[in-house]
């Protein structure tokens, strides 16, 4: 069962990462095929496991006290584009172009 171009396009949108070429798409197909082996296992009545530490009550809450911070300068150091104390991003709320208009390998499919 091949993954449809719609789903591949959807994945590129969600992941913001490209398949690049037919090899990339093949890679996904093989990954799904591999994962399908999971269905051989009988998991009736089995609860999903989030963490191996589930019996130990690891995740705790703490008091909402500020214990560290004041490191604006260090944090901004690694950003390429900034203005005063802001990280600068290009305009938002513009969705990625649709498949037909985008420069993607999937266009040919």
Partner 1 sequence: AALNDALRSQVSAALKEGRVTPTELCQRCLALIKSTKFLNAYITVAEETALKQAEESEERYKRGQPLGILDGIPVAVKDNFNTAGIETTCASNMLKGYISPYNATVVQKLLDHGAVLLGKTNLDEFAMGSGSTDGVFGPVRNPWSYSKQYKEKCVPKSHSEEEESDWVITGGSSGGSAAAVSSFTCFAALGSDTGGSTRNPAAHCGVVGLKPTYGLISRHGLIPLVNSMDVPGILTRCVDDAAVLLGSLAGHDPKDSTTIQDDFKPFELPNLTDVSKLSIGIPKEYNAPGLSSEILALWSKAADLFKNAGAKVVEVSLPHTRHSIVCYHVLCTAEVASNMARFDGLEYGHRSDTKDSTESMYAATRREGFNDVVRGRILSGNYFLLKQNYEKYFVKAQKVRRLIANDFVKVFRSGVDVLLTPTTLSDAAPYTEFIQEDNRTRSAQDDILTQAANMAGLPAINVPTALSERGLPVGLQFIGRSFQEKQLLTVAKWFEKQVQFPVMQLEEVRRHDSGVFQHQKSASFS
Q: For the window 46-65, what string marks contact with partner 1 as x by the rule CB under 8 A?
A: xxxxxxxx--x-xxx-x---
Q: How far is the CB of 84 from partner 1 (least distance, A)?
A: 15
- Locate 12 and state its tokens: 């590129």
Interface of this chain with partner 1, residues 69 to 98, rule: CB under 8 A: 71, 74-75, 77-81, 87, 89-92, 94-97
Identify the sign of the CA torsion 57, 61, 66, 70. positive
Give the Cα separation of 33 and 36 in Å (integer): 5
Does residue 109 touch partner 1 according to CB under 8 A?
no
Q: Whose Cβ is closer to partner 1: residue 64's or residue 77's?
A: 77
């Amino acid at each position: 069962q091949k993954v449809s171009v719609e789903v591949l396009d959807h994945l590129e949108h969600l992941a913001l990462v490209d398949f690049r070429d037919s090899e990339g798409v093949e890679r996904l197909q093989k990954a799904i095929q591999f994962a399908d082996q999971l269905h051989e296992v009988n998991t009736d009545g089995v609860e999903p496991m989030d963490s191996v530490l589930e019996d130990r009550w690891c995740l705790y809450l703490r008091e909402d006290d500020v214990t560290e911070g004041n490191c604006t300068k260090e944090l901004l150091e690694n950003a390429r584009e900034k203005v005063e104390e802001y990280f600068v991003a290009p305009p938002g709320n513009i969705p990625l172009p649709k498949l037909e208009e985008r420069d993607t390998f999937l266009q040919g499919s």
